[in-house]
Chain A
Amino acid sequence: MSPLELVVVVLVTSVLAGGAGAILGLGGGILLIPILTLFYGVDLHYAMGASIVSVIATSSGAAAAYLRTSLSNVRIGLFLALATVSGALVGAALAGVAPTRALQLLLGLALAYSTLTTLRQLRIELPEVGEADPVAMRFSLEGSYYDSVLDREVKYRATRVRLGVAAMFGAGLLSGLLGIGSGAFKVLAMDHFMRLPMKVSTATSNFMIGITSAASAGVYFARGDIHPLLAAPVAVGVLAGAAAGTRLMSRLRNTTVRKIFLPLLAWLAISMILRGLGIGLP
């Protein structure tokens, strides 16, 4: 593959990854690493460096838009970021010494988990509102937004905050370890454990993944994993894709988005697990 061909295919792929990431709150990294390594034969460590760039670009593009519509909750994002950033620091330190095949297997398992999570949420538009949590009351983990699909103001308050914080530390650990935003796990923690509306969960996840990834980005940069010729088209493509994705999300139901991406996530999970186990793909 010539340098120009590499830049063009990575750019186009990144637009799609950025769009998908902005809609699902995934950051795009969980899609980008398998595609770069499986289809374009990119070295896993450079793919992970490019993924960190992708996650931050998605976060900057998507969160800027979601904050203006009150879908991202800065208080909840910063409160939970205390846990995710701690986890990311630990994960990034471990990533440099972990073998490639083990990382692929771990990423495959992370993808499989995301697939199951998405499958369980397939028909849910808004979660049930749980009982008031004293931690949520103390830290004002609540808010409201206007839902254009439901045509009403939706008010919400977090529940089971301690469980959410524990899950967030795990999400941060994965982010640092695998070079992904681990947005799926953040969405899971906010949607399932803390019972926040799905749109708030994905939008706040988009705000948080940038912060979590920034914590480990310095480590990847200093290790030489962020190659400009690979990371540049990723950054440009993902930012453009994220801008389009945020516009598209307001016109889609969450259930529709999940149905579109579920088969893709499942296929990628299987591919990465097989690679991690040393089983070659055609």
Chain B
Amino acid sequence: MSAPSPVDRMVARVLLWGGLLSISLVLGGLVVYAVAGHPHAREIVRVIHNRETGQAVDVFTSLGDVRRAIVRRPPDPLALTALGLVCLLATPAVGVAAAAGAFWRAGDRLYAGIAAAVLGMLLLSFGLAAGG
């Protein structure tokens, strides 16, 4: 029976722990949000159903937005949820980075290069998004 390679094991570990960390943050934010209540809850739901009917509330469009909402007093619980979502969105890129490192350590320079190229394109996409 075929056993997973060290590269497979490394990538699997990163995806699993990335997913678990993300979900912990997402759930933490949701629980605090539910317990504390929110004055804009109904407005948020109305906008979710039709974005053109009003100004979006609690939508974060940059890491700076998320950071500011977490450090302010009182902190916005949905910012913690948004941080978890950012972690989740970054997990595949971290997985690719882990694959590049694992291939390099295994002496497979070709696939270390291919993984690095994929990672480069992902970082380019993040950079384009950050630049608006």
- Seen from chain A, the residues whose Cβ lies within 8 Å of a Cβ on chain B are 1-4, 6-7, 41-43, 45-46, 52-53, 56-57, 59-61, 63-65, 67-70, 72, 74-75, 78-79, 81-82, 85-86, 88-89, 92, 139-140, 143-146, 153, 207, 210-211, 213-219, 221-224, 226-233, 235-236, 239
**Across the interface, do B129 and A43 meet the contact criterion of CB distance under 8 Å?**
no
A228 and B15 in contact (CB under 8 A), knowing A70-B8, A215-B122? Answer: no
Name the one of B27, B84, B122 contacting A211, with C-beta atoms under 8 angstroms: B122
Give the residues in chain A near B35, CB-CB below 8 Å.
none
Give the residues from 32 to 61 in chain B that come closer than 8 angstroms, CB to CB, to chain A: 33-34, 38, 41-42, 44-45, 47-51, 56, 58-61
Name the one of A82, A85, A231 contacting B85, with C-beta atoms under 8 angstroms: A231
Cβ-based interface call for B86 (8 A): yes
Give Cα distance in the complex from A218 to B26, angstroms: 18
- Seen from chain B, the residues whose Cβ lies within 8 Å of a Cβ on chain A are 1-5, 7-9, 11-13, 15-16, 18-19, 22-23, 26-27, 29-30, 33-34, 38, 41-42, 44-45, 47-51, 56, 58-62, 78-79, 81-82, 84-86, 88-93, 95-96, 99, 110-111, 114-115, 117-118, 121-122, 124-126, 128-130, 132
Give the residues in chain B near A139, CB-CB below 8 Å.
110
**Across the interface, do A145 and B2 meet the contact criterion of CB distance under 8 Å?**
yes
**Min CB gap B91→A, angstroms:** 5
Total CB contacts across the A-B interface at under 8 A: 208
**Across the interface, do A72 and B8 meet the contact criterion of CB distance under 8 Å?**
yes
Name the one of A53, A67, A219, A231 contacting B129, with C-beta atoms under 8 angstroms: A219
| 22 contacting pairs across A/B (C-beta < 8 A) | A3-B44, A4-B34, A56-B91, A60-B15, A60-B92, A68-B8, A75-B111, A144-B2, A153-B1, A214-B92, A217-B89, A218-B130, A221-B86, A222-B130, A223-B61, A226-B59, A227-B59, A228-B58, A228-B79, A228-B82, A231-B85, A232-B81
Name the one of A59, A68, A82 contacting B117, with C-beta atoms under 8 angstroms: A82
**Across the interface, do B118 and A57 meet the contact criterion of CB distance under 8 Å?**
no
**Across the interface, do B85 and A226 meet the contact criterion of CB distance under 8 Å?**
yes
Name the one of B23, B44, B118, B126 contacting A81, with C-beta atoms under 8 angstroms: B118
Give the residues in chain B near A74, CB-CB below 8 Å.
5, 7-8, 11, 99
**Min CB gap A146→B, angstroms:** 4
Give the residues in chain A near B126, CB-CB below 8 Å.
218
**Across the interface, do B1 and A89 meet the contact criterion of CB distance under 8 Å?**
no
**Min CB gap B47→A, angstroms:** 8
Give the residues in chain B near A214, CB-CB below 8 Å.
89-93, 122, 125
**Min CB gap B15→A, angstroms:** 4
